[in-house]
Structure 1
Amino acid sequence: MSKKIGFYKNLEPYLKCKDYTVSGEEYQVMFNNEFDMLVTVPVPKNLADYYKSSAYISHTDSKKSLFDKVYQTVKNITLKRKLKLINSFNTDSKNILDVGAGTGDFLKVCKNNSWNVFGTEPDAGARNIAARKGIILQEDLSKIANQKFDVITLWHVLEHVENLQEYIPTLNNLLSDTGKLIIAVPNYKSDDAIYYGKFWAAFDVPRHLWHFSQTSISKLFAEVNMNVEKTLPMKFDAYYVSLLSEKYKSGKMKPLAAFFRGFQSNMNAKSTKEYSSLIYVLQKT
């Protein structure tokens, strides 16, 4: 993939979003017509500082607030579904790489089910929590070389990657010829995204640098000769994202309104296929 691809060229205004997690700053979300995706502008130079919050739950195992409890409950359910998905693949060596592994729960489940696990996580605190679970994570992909993996997973990670032009070919190089790449990302064309607009929690600026559509993923990975084999819904995301979005919109907890909106989003997606978040299973062509 050429570095000349203009992710930041010929952008059109889409909407302005606020960082509700850390800074309270506003960011412009711009539309890139070539790839049918949205781009967060500008990218802070000290981006790592925007992850330093107890509210950033993927780096902790917190169960303090209602959001925490909902997140942890849903996580335990989805872990089983993720395991079922990867177990459905025919693999040679059962080597799996989880990129952005957080506190290591997914890899722990994989390890307990006879997978050879490898993972990366840039946050030192999250790596320490994972280590206490027996899961040793590297800081980034540069620490993993000369290996091939049957399965590579990125669960809500690709939207955080700064250098997308280099990262996608790197993933391709780490994947075996018959391997599966699993990408899970929010979908800005979902019903809940359209309904909440600038309050949609999955915009999560500036931590989410990119906001993908189904077309985006297909085009980006076609650049490295990979195609989308299957697209699967993440139905729980509509409820969790709506719960946060209601808080951002009104400043109040509105679980009933959030449940209704999440339900409505999933119902509409039965025909449109535009679920709040989507899992893409990709393979080399």
Structure 2
Amino acid sequence: MKPEKCTVCGGALVTRYPEAHDPLTGEAFAVADCTWCGLGHTSPQPDDLGRYYGHRYYGNRHGLTLRHCISRRLGFIAAALPGKPGRRLLDIGCADGSFLLAARHRGWDVVGTELDPRAARQEGLDVKEDIAEFREDATYDCITMWHTLEHMRDIPHMLNNVARLLKPEGRVIIAVPDFGGWQARLYGPKWLHVDVPRHLYHFTIGALRHALAGAGFTVQRTWHQEIEYDLLGWSQSALNYLMPEPNVFFETLTGKQGETGGGGRVYACLLGSLLTLLSLPVLTLSTLLGKGGTLIVVAAPTPRMNDKKTEEL
């Protein structure tokens, strides 16, 4: 399926990358930007995405990295909902449920969604396959989407469902790769986080604000870094220009098996480690200037005019 116009605002599309390769299959896709809202669209979007999520896609986080990531994300929630712990939380795209388990340990009543919920259910978690399975009266104080919105086929439909399930005083927290950041601009189609065709859409801050506004949300706060995503975004993307096989360093760190032999993997790890260290200053600067590799936003339901009048009375 090839998008003819922006699926969020209906604007015209113009090609940014004529050819970006899937690092797993080698297939070529294009990325086109909306001339109005700036949302990037992968083209074509395969009718069957299942074969692009094979065993090489799913890797393992090291324990220390996973704990740091979860702790940071719980910190985002604490900043978005200060003084309101122990309420109801929905995580869309919860993977194996590690984040939900940590949130439950902090006192939250948690549920999740995942296309394949078996791993999370084995941990005793309530996880559904589709957000449409939630009843109208099932509402939540916090809904999180950690690097899942870019995978969704129908962004307005998903965000409208989020609006349906979020309490009026609730908050939605969304993390996506930043298509307007320095990494995306510098590395282009070889950027680690382009990841076509699994990433069907590519968000700048303007595109994300526009999509959220269409579902009745206002962005209240933003952050511009998730350190492990950003560091590897710098180092692995540079390596993609130097090595014939993409993402070797990244796949080695996450326990995935690629086609590169042992010698190539050692070379990728040594050079990748050096590039990661050299990336620290530019990572800091890009974060401070709001041009990092990751974009995290907190959004709240936009007060309606009738609500404002009621408050004034």
Q: Verify the 8 A CA contact 1:184 1:277 in the aligned structure 2.
A: yes
Query: CA 1:196–1:268 in structure 2 vs 1: closer, same or farther (change >3 Å)?
Result: same
Given the two structures, how large is their TM-score scaled by the length of structure 2?
A: 0.79
Q: Which residue of 2 aligns with 1:65?
A: none
Unaligned runs of 5+ in 1: 63-67
Offset at 1:43? 0.4
Percentage of pairs with the same residue: 25
Separation in 1 of the partners of 2:234 and 2:114?
27
What SS does the aligned partner of 1:250 have? Answer: coil
- Answering whether residue 162 of structure 2 is matched by residue 144 of structure 1, we say no
User: 1:120 Cα deviation (Å)?
Assistant: 0.2
Larger Rg: 2
Residues 247 and 14 (structure 1), Cα distance of their counterparts in 2 relative to 1, 3 Å cut:
same
CA RMSD between the two structures = 2.1
1:83 and 2:69 aligned: no
Rounded Cα–Cα distance in structure 1 between residues aligned with 2:128 and 2:299:
24
Q: Which residue of 1 aligns with 2:41?
A: 39
From 279, 282, 286, give the equivalent of 1:264: 282
| Pair 1:120 & 2:113 matched | yes
Q: 2:103 aligns with which of 107, 110, 122?
A: 110
**Residue 233 (structure 2) pairs with residue 241 (structure 1):** yes
Distance in 1 between the 2:187 and 2:298 partners? 28
What amino acid does structure 2 have at the position aligned with 1:74? T
Task: Tell me the CA shift for residue 232 of structure 1.
Answer: 1.3
Match of residue 178 from structure 1: 169
Give distance in 1, aligned partners of 2:143 and 2:135. 14
- Aligned 1:185-200 pairs, distance under 5 A: 185-200=176-191
Task: Mark the CA change 1:208 to 1:262 in structure 2 (over 3 Å): closer, same or farther.
Answer: farther
Contact 2:145–2:173 (Cα < 8 Å) also in 1: yes
Rounded Cα–Cα distance in structure 2 between residues aligned with 1:105 and 1:224: 29
**2:217 aligned partner, one-letter code:** M
**Contact preservation (8 Å) 1:239, 1:263:** no
The reply to whether residue 274 of structure 1 matches residue 291 of structure 2 is yes
Question: What is the match of residue 226 of structure 1?
Answer: 217
State the alpha-carbon separation in 2 of the partners of residues 175 and 214 from structure 1.
22
Return the match for 2:205 from 214, 227, 234: 214
1:46 counterpart SS class: coil
Structure 2 unaligned residues grouped into runs of 5+: 244-267, 303-313
Alpha carbons of structure 1 residues 258 and 197: separation in structure 2 relative to 1, 3 Å: farther
